[in-house]
Amino acid sequence: MPELPEVETVRRGLTPAMEGAVIARADVNRPDLRWPFPPGMADRLTGARVERLRRRSKYILADLDSGETLLVHLGMSGRMTVSGDPLGQFVHDHPAAEKHDHVVLHMENGARVTFNDPRRFGAMDLMDTATADQHKLLAVLGPEPLGNDFHEAHLIDAFQGKNTPVKSALLDQRIVAGLGNIYVCEALFRCGISPTRKAGRIATQRVAALVPVIRQVLAEAIEAGGSSLRDFRQADGELGYFQHRFDVYGREGETCRATGCGASIARIVQSGRSSFYCKTCQT
């Protein structure tokens, strides 16, 4: 499932074609994805101007001049791609329609934004912009890891007395929003913290050190266009490249990249997800 860097990469790719542009026509080709679409979604989108395109956690939010905000979640296999952009940001002509093109936004500027989702785990919803932060999917979220509210004191307080493994704590969207399996594994490796260590038993100095490392890992991944493992594509259809820089994720049995280590990367399953780490470097 796309994590924060992938979603941010898509948002940045959509911005030149969507922000400030009018949706001339919205085609909604099925009644639902993971959940039913809101009533009259096509009509509510048609004619609206996209005033701002932003991201909250793993959600893309398009604020419209109608006073509503379109919420988009890519799910497991969802893609939002742009074709025919008159600003010259994209080189692809409009492709032929595909079976899983569930929502298509025809922009007045000539661009076409297509939401394709073969597995249909994605989601879209419309909500009042003024109360968007109260939406059931957004109200429970913790601070953005790249925002000012995510800092050392917050993470130390969130870990206080917590008996769950640090890996699980960092995946808890109430503690920090947008982190997923890949980038938690990578951040824990850089900090030398085992994913099995109980969050409440990590020294405060080590917890504090996680904050800048998490920011750094995410920033590097965004710069690389995210990570493409199976389905993820950027808005122009290209792959992300951060997967070529993984230190531990997906490298079970391979040699640790830490200078002088030589140990093999291990994999364990925690809460149904694979954790990759170096037993020598991470304690």
Q: Mind listing the pLDDT tens digit for each residue in 59-89?
A: 999 999 999 999 999 988 888 988 886 655 5
Residue of higher predicted confidence among 265 and 81: 265
Tens of pLDDT, residues 178-206: 999 999 999 999 999 999 999 999 999 99
**Sign for the pseudo-dihedral over CA of 260, 261, 264, 265:** negative
Residue with tokens 């109360």: 131
53: left (phi over 0), alpha (psi -120 to 50) or beta: beta
Given this structure, which CATH class describes domain 4-134? alpha beta
Residue of higher predicted confidence among 95 and 252: 252
Per-residue pLDDT band at 95 (split at 50, 70, 90):
confident
Q: Are 121 and 106 in contact (CB under 8 A)?
A: no
pLDDT at 245: 76
Per-residue pLDDT band at 232 (split at 50, 70, 90):
very low
Cα–Cα distances in angstroms (integers) from residue 98 to residues 101, 115, 168, in the given order: 5, 10, 38
Query: CA-CA distance, 283 to 279, in Å (whole number)?
Result: 7
Catalytically active residues, by annotation: 2-3, 58, 273
- Structure token digits, residue 218: 């995410």
Q: Are strands 265-270 and 273-278 parallel, antiparallel or unpaired?
A: antiparallel
Lowest mean pLDDT among 3-7, 54-58, 183-187: 3-7
Domain span(s) for CATH 1.10.8.50 in the chain: 152-278
Q: Are strands 273-278 and 50-56 parallel, antiparallel or unpaired?
A: unpaired
For residue 269, pLDDT beyond 90:
yes
Q: Quick one: average pLDDT of 245-260? A: 93
For residue 241, pLDDT beyond 70:
no
Domain span(s) for CATH 3.20.190.10 in the chain: 4-134
Q: Is 182 helix (H, G, I), strand (E, B) or coil?
A: helix
pLDDT at 239: 45
Query: CA-CA distance, 58 to 92, in Å (whole number)?
Result: 26
Query: CA-CA distance, 92 to 115, in Å (whole number)?
Result: 16
Q: Are 5 and 242 in contact (CB under 8 A)?
A: yes
Which percentage of the chain shows pLDDT scores above 90? 76
- Structure token digits, residue 44: 């509510």
Q: Which fold has domain 152-278?
A: Helicase, Ruva Protein; domain 3 (1.10.8)
Query: CA-CA distance, 177 to 174, in Å (whole number)?
Result: 7
Tens of pLDDT, residues 119-174: 899 999 999 999 999 999 999 999 999 999 999 999 999 999 999 999 999 999 99
- Structure token digits, residue 241: 């490249």
Residue with tokens 């979604």: 41
pLDDT at 168: 96
Quote the DSSP letter at residue 118.
Answer: T
